[in-house]
């Protein structure tokens, strides 16, 4: 099934919600680098509800790919690395495959796994640290001050990015389950439970 005009409207609405939650909770990072991760975590969990509702309305191949790609473009406009676009497209496409493969009656069981894959994109804005940490922290110092950049650099040990990838996946599962539970009536109405 291809995406219809109505589906594309849903993509726009739910992508705007998804980005707004991501952006608002990322702003917690202004309070400190450690708080930034807490904000990311809350955003990941809450976006599970957005994605679950979106998938119920648009369980079609390409829907999450578009959400991931457009969210990546919006993240670039907010100052993030260009890597967020290919990551959003790839993780969105993998999430789409999880959603669209299999029996529709089991959709509610696949949503948390699909969303967990999509949630891994929260690591991508931090990837430049692995490639050129000096430039990353110089830019951070210009934007947030030297004390903030020093605290962030001290926090970002070699194990943090792999650990955050795993944590993002687990938080995605939690958020996906929360999304399915909180939108149960929508699943029942659509005959998907």
Band (102; pLDDT cuts 50, 70, 90)? confident
- Secondary-structure breakdown of the chain: helix, strand, coil percentages, each rounded to the nearest 5: 85, 0, 15
Is 70 exceeded by the pLDDT of residue 111? yes
Q: By the 8 A CB rule, do 93 and 65 touch?
A: yes
Is 85 domain-assigned?
yes
Is 142 domain-assigned?
no
Is 149 domain-assigned?
no
Q: How far apart are CA 119 and CA 95, in angstroms?
A: 10
Band (55; pLDDT cuts 50, 70, 90)? very high
Is 90 domain-assigned?
yes
Return phi, psi of residue 103, to 5°. -70, 130
Instruction: Give the per-residue pLDDT at 193.
Output: 46
Give me the number of domains the chain comprises: 1
Is 145 domain-assigned?
no
**pTM for the whole thing?**
0.91
Instruction: Give the per-residue pLDDT at 184.
Output: 76
Q: What is the 3-state secondary structure (H, E, C) of 33-53?
A: HHHHHHHHHHHHHHHHHHHHH
Instruction: Give the per-residue pLDDT at 190.
Output: 56
Is 144 domain-assigned?
no
Is 135 domain-assigned?
no
Instruction: State the residue range of the domain holding 83.
Output: 5-126+159-190
Is 177 domain-assigned?
yes
């Amino acid at each position: 099934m291809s995406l219809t005009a109505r589906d594309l409207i849903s993509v726009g609405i739910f992508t705007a919600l998804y980005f707004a939650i991501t952006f608002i909770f990322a702003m917690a990072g202004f309070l400190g680098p450690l708080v930034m991760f807490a904000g990311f975590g809350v955003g990941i969990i809450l976006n599970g509800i957005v994605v679950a509702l979106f998938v119920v309305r648009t369980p079609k191949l390409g829907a999450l790919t578009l959400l991931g790609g457009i969210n990546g473009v919006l993240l670039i406009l907010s100052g993030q690395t260009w890597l967020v676009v290919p990551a959003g497209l790839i993780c969105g496409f993998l999430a789409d495959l999880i959603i669209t493969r299999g029996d529709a009656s089991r959709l509610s069981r696949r949503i948390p796994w699909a969303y967990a894959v999509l949630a891994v994109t929260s690591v991508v804005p931090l990837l430049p640290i692995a490639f050129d940490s000096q430039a990353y922290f110089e830019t951070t110092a210009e934007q947030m001050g030297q004390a903030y950049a020093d605290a962030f650099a001290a926090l970002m040990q070699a194990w943090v990015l792999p650990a955050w990838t795993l944590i993002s996946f687990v938080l995605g599962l939690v958020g996906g389950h929360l999304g399915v539970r909180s939108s149960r009536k929508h699943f029942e109405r659509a005959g998907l439970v």
